[in-house]
Copies of this chain bind each other. A is one copy, B any other.
Amino acid sequence: MNLSVQAEKVLPASRKASKEVRRQQLIEATIETLARKGYAQLTLTDVAVTAGVSHGLVNFHFQSKEKLFAETLLHLAAEYQANWQAYLATAGTAPALQLDALLRADLDPKVCAPVKVICWAAFWGESQSRPIYQQEYGANDEAYSAMLAEICERLTAAGGYALDGHMASRVFRAIGDGVWQDIAFSARPYSLDEARKTMYAGAAALFPKHFTATGLR
């Protein structure tokens, strides 16, 4: 009897867990498939095959193709945000250290693995992604930009740069975006090491008193 009661209790729990596990599994399969085939060429069957399940299951867990994509995009966005927040949390309060943390966050394979970066490109290429992203992450994005600008301003002020901190933050972000683009589309293999060197070279150009071409000064 205990067993059956336990079963009663455990089963729903395990089902719930299993349900969430399945969703993650399908989202990961979507990311992988999206990177391989692009948005237009991708079918729910592709995702199902990649995940090793029947295609009917995809619609069971995500009510439509649209929802699957939206949730995949939001998964990537949440992952990106959690990543830089984790890096920033360990960086203290000095602006140079904070900037370095954000720089290193963008180079964490968790978010900048080619498959992820190509996946972002697939979403950006699709006009329907943009309103979804804006609605859920527009505010966070603004906050990120404001924070980055504020860090750069503190840095330029403290460092005695003539440079406009706000504009510097824009250049810094553009470099990050450009490097991600290289990761995704470079014809020749583009290593994480090259990406890091490029970003530090940019940081050193912008903030020579705090960065060298290879890292924090």
Q: A residues engaging B (CB < 8 A)? A: 35-41, 118, 121-128, 130, 134, 138, 141-142, 163-164, 167-168, 170-171, 173-179, 181-182, 184-185, 187, 197-198, 201-202, 205-206, 213
Contact = CB atoms under 8 A, between A and B. Distances in A.
A135 to B, nearest CB: 11
- What's the number of copies of this chain in the assembled complex? 4
Given A175-B175, A175-B178, A167 B198 contact: yes
In terms of DSSP, what is the predominant structure of the interface of chain A?
helix
A205 B163 contact: yes
Nearest to A40: B40
B41 A127 contact: yes
B121 A124 contact: yes
Contact of A127 (B37, B130, B213): B37
Give the one of A37, A173, A187 with max B CB within 10 A.
A187
A125 B202 CA distance: 26
A4 B141 CA distance: 59
Contact of A201 (B164, B176, B182): B164
Contacts of A167: 197-198, 201, 213
Contacts of A177: 174, 177-178, 181-182
